[in-house]
């Protein structure tokens, strides 16, 4: 577990946080020195002046520090001040030029580097950042899942989109995956829930923001835990094994999984039949000069499928999401069929 304040605000604030966290078993402290903000005028960190405080606190408490770097000059200063772990923030990850510059500045070093997911849900960008760092000789890498920005206000500050970090782990299984419940949740009340979800998905670690007095924090006040809240969250977390060692349980589980596999085969077979029907409809529309999108029909589908889902005790939003994806693929297929006619003309 990595924990610490969003931003280093003063030497006193930093030492108070470090003393508490070390007494609670934390060995890596996160501390924002440079804070890239969305808009100017916000507190953007103390910068270089804070680095000696981190260096002194590390020696005094025998603890490691992790900080965000956004340009090569940050890397140089971090190395000069004995920082142990670096991370690349979400805004930087989204810019391949920035990542490449940071990667080049790290060439020849052995520092561990963590990479936050880009602000937008682009797995390719995230993976590309690891590839750039790896090509520069940086081999101690980890991923931080902090969620994805969205223009719509929802329950979370950043949409978790759990499927993206899971896919990252599937493609690069050797890379440690760290959950960032503070930035996903955005509110103290959600930190435990998101942390537990990360643990249940076999994440390798957590990075949680903790502040001596969050209400007076200069950045991200709403998502930083008080000392007591952090202790409560830490004690409440339930850790479960990622491996199955009970043979009887494993046999039962494999039997159910076999049924799941069979059901999935039936689902894919049904989807194939449905898409064939969609193509027939597309050909009929083409031959009769009818537009692809028929809104009345689409509204009827969404209405009836919602009703069917409720009767089967299924999450309606989940089913509607599936049908929206099906509709997108259906339009694509029918548009291709329409274009075939245009090509002949």
The answer to whether residue 127 scores a pLDDT higher than 60 is: yes
Cα 150 to the center of its chain, rounded Å: 13
Per DSSP, what are the bridge partners of residue 178? 144, 205
pLDDT of residue 43: 86
Res 343 pLDDT > 60: no
Residue 187 is encoded by which pair of tokens?
A: 């509110």
Confidence of residue 128 (pLDDT cuts 50, 70, 90): very high
What 3-state DSSP class applies to 52? helix
Q: What is the pLDDT of residue 296?
A: 93
pLDDT at 98 over 90: yes
pLDDT at 342 over 80: no
Matching residue, tokens 């440079």? 34
Please tell me the predicted confidence (pLDDT) of residue 241: 75
At residue 341, the pLDDT reads: 60
What is the arithmetic mean of pLDDT over 251-274?
Answer: 92
Three-class DSSP category at 154: coil
Asked if pLDDT for residue 153 goes beyond 90, the answer is no
* Cβ 208 vs Cβ 233: under 8 Å: yes
- Spell out the domain ranges in the chain: 2-236, 247-344
Name the fold adopted by 2-236.
Answer: TIM Barrel (3.20.20)
Cα–Cα distances in angstroms (integers) from residue 119 to residues 44, 57, 109, 166, in the given order = 18, 32, 27, 17
Distance CA 188, CA 210 (A): 10
- Is the Cα torsion angle 181, 192, 84, 137 positive or negative in sign? negative
Q: Mean of the per-residue pLDDT values for the chain? A: 93
Equal CATH topology for 2-236 and 247-344: no
Beta-carbon contacts of 326 under 8 Å, excluding residues fewer than 6 positions away, are 271, 274
**Given this model, what pLDDT does residue 344 score?**
54
How far, in Å, are 45, 200, 206, 212 from residue 4 at the CA level? 14, 23, 11, 10
Residue 231 tokens, joined: 């202790």
Q: Where are the alpha helices (DSSP H) in 90-236?
A: 90-93, 96-106, 123-135, 163-171, 181-185, 191-200, 227-236
* 244 — pLDDT class (breaks 50, 70, 90): confident
Count of C-beta atoms within a 10 Å radius of residue 133: 23
Average pLDDT over residues 122-129: 97
User: Above 80 in pLDDT, residue 38?
Assistant: no
* pLDDT of residue 156 exceeding 60: yes
CA dist., res. 114 & res. 66, Å (int): 9
In degrees and rounded to multiples of 5, residue 145 shows phi and psi of -95, 110
H-type alpha helices, 237-315: 247-287, 295-311
Q: Which of 64, 126, 74, 149 is nearest to 105 (CA)?
A: 74
Q: Identify the residue whose tokens are 């680095």.
A: 51
Domain at 247-344, CATH from 1.10.1280.10, 3.40.50.300, 2.40.50.140, 1.20.59.10: 1.20.59.10
pTM of the model: 0.81
pLDDT bucket at 247, cuts 50 / 70 / 90 = confident
Residue with more model confidence, 250 or 258 = 258
Count of Cβ atoms closer than 10 Å to residue 16 Cβ: 16
Would you say residue 225 has pLDDT above 70? yes
Per-residue pLDDT band at 144 (split at 50, 70, 90) = very high
Tens-digit pLDDT profile for residues 171-222 = 999 999 999 999 999 999 999 999 999 999 999 999 999 999 999 999 999 9
- What's the confidence (pLDDT) of residue 183? 97
Sign of CA dihedral 117, 121, 123, 129: negative
The three-class DSSP label of residue 149 is coil
Could you give the 3-state DSSP secondary structure of residue 177?
strand
pLDDT in tens, 278-327: 999 999 999 999 999 999 999 999 999 999 999 999 999 999 999 999 99
Residue 151's pLDDT band (boundaries 50, 70, 90)?
confident
């Amino acid at each position: 577990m990595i924990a610490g304040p969003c931003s280093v605000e003063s030497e006193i604030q930093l030492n108070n946080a470090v003393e508490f966290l070390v007494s609670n078993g934390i060995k890596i402290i996160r501390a924002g020195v440079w804070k890239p903000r969305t808009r100017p005028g916000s507190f953007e960190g103390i910068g270089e002046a804070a680095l000696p405080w981190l260096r002194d606190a590390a020696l005094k408490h025998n603890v490691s520090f992790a900080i965000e770097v956004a340009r090569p000059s940050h890397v140089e200063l971090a190395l000069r001040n004995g920082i142990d772990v670096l991370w690349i923030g979400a805004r930087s990850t989204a810019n391949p030029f920035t990542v490449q510059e940071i990667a080049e500045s790290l060439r020849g070093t052995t520092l561990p580097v963590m990479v936050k997911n880009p602000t937008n849900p682009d797995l390719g960008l995230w993976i590309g950042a690891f590839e750039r760092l790896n090509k520069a000789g940086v081999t101690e890498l980890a991923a931080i899942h902090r969620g994805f920005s969205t223009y719509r206000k929802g329950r979370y500050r950043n949409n978790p989109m759990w499927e993206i970090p899971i896919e990252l782990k599937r493609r690069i299984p050797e890379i440690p995956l760290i959950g960032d419940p503070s930035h996903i949740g955005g509110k103290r009340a959600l930190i435990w829930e998101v942390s537990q979800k990360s643990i249940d998905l076999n994440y390798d670690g957590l990075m949680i923001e903790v502040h001596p007095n969050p209400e007076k924090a200069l950045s991200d006040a709403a998502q930083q835990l008080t000392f007591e809240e952090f202790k409560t969250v830490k004690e409440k977390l339930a850790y479960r094994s990622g491996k199955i060692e009970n043979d009887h349980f494993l046999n039962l589980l494999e039997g159910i999984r076999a049924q799941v596999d069979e059901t999935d085969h039936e689902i894919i077979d049904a989807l194939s039949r449905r898409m064939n029907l969609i193509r027939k409809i597309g050909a009929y529309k083409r031959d009769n000069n009818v537009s692809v999108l028929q809104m009345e029909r689409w509204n009827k589908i969404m209405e009836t499928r919602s009703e069917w889902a409720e009767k089967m005790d299924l999450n309606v939003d989940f089913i509607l999401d599936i049908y929206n994806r099906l509709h997108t693929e259906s339009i694509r297929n029918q548009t291709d069929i329409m274009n075939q006619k245009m090509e002949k003309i």
